[in-house]
Structure 1
Amino acid sequence: MSTELKASSLKVQAFLSQHGQDFVVQQMPSSTRTAKDAAEAVGCTVSQIAKSLIFKDGETGAPVLVVASGSNMVCTDKVKEATGITLEKADASFVREKVGYAIGGVPPVAHNEKVQTLLDKDLHQYTEIWAAAGTPNSVFKLNPQYLGELTQGQWIDLAK
């Protein structure tokens, strides 16, 4: 694996370092754009991939980050029931403008602006998970406890 990080991954690495974490962003030789690709690249199960999905709050238009287990689909009805937020799809330009990353490389941290974050309770079953780190082929390893601390996210049941 290459050690040379792109600017977006360096931004994630700086965030992690500034928050007292020794997590290391890794540039992979193959794509980590999808949960399946990422799992193959790092050698874990698809469920251990913490995929970061940006939605739009249907009422306010604000970005909402949902970090879901790679094998789960997000149930918008469960999110609405747990939080009162109506999730709407966000297009690529909205995602890049609001969080600063392209779809396929959105990390759970180091965004352009503060983002309300919802976390998939299913991730708690793993001692080790992997998240995108700013590009479609960079990742970092962490545990669910740190994911919660770094994102200040709300843990909910959100899987279909």
Structure 2
Amino acid sequence: MASIDRVAADAANLGLEIEIRTLDASTRTAEEAASACGCDVAQIVKSLVFEDSGTCKIVLLLVSGRHNVDLDFLRHHHGLDLRRCDPRRVRDETGFAIGGVAPIGHLAKPTIWMDRVLDGFEIVYAAAGRPDSVFAVDPAKLRQAIGAEVLDVNQESAVSR
């Protein structure tokens, strides 16, 4: 099954009503996605895949497009000891290439954490399995459907609650 079809099927299974949009412009970066969607870059959900240093399991961080992840901050404030994940492992375990990793439709369910700043929006835009595709979703409904834990990804996100 194509990655975009997995996203659509998983959304239906989770009770999320989404419409996947395939765009003419690239959505590989948060800035490109915001421009293509006509929204603020903070409304873009960056799906970042890491590896837990202790368990070696995949961890997915859903981060506002305006934030960068501070791994030292996560370790000190949330007890998460993460390291970058090999791109081949990202594709093998999620079913998505970097740049198109969706928050749903993974081949193997990762542990998921979500930037608390995303909850400040009525709608956010997430990758739909390809670098040119997105879907809009209520962040609270997404978080609940996927069982994501909320966290601050850096000092800025901790202050901008």
TM-score (norm 2): 0.91
Does the CA-based 8 Å contact 1:120-1:159 persist in structure 2? no
Alpha-carbon deviations, 1:60-97, whole Å to 9, x = none? 11100000000100111232234422110112101001
Q: What is the Cα deviation at residue 13 of structure 1?
A: 0.6
Q: How does 1:7-26 map to 2 (within 5 A)?
A: 7-26=2-21
**Equivalent pairs, count:** 155
Does the CA-based 8 Å contact 1:31-1:136 persist in structure 2? yes
Q: Counterparts of 1:127 and 1:68 in 2: how far apart (Å)?
A: 16
Q: How does 1:51-130 map to 2 (within 5 A)?
A: 51-130=46-125
The amino acid across from 2:127 in the alignment is: A
SS at match of 1:119: strand
Q: What is the Cα deviation at residue 59 of structure 1?
A: 1.0
Name segments (4+ residues, structure 1) moved above 3 Å. none
State the identity as a percent. 37
Point out where structure 1 has 5 or more consecutive residues left out of the alignment. 1-5
The match for 2:159 is none
Q: Counterparts of 1:90 and 1:19 in 2: how far apart (Å)?
A: 26
Does the CA-based 8 Å contact 1:121-1:155 persist in structure 2? yes
The match for 2:36 is 41
Q: Counterparts of 1:83 and 1:108 in 2: how far apart (Å)?
A: 21
Q: Counterparts of 1:82 and 1:136 in 2: how far apart (Å)?
A: 32
SS at match of 2:99: coil
Give 1:30's match in structure 2, choosing from 25, 34, 41. 25
TM-score (norm 1): 0.92
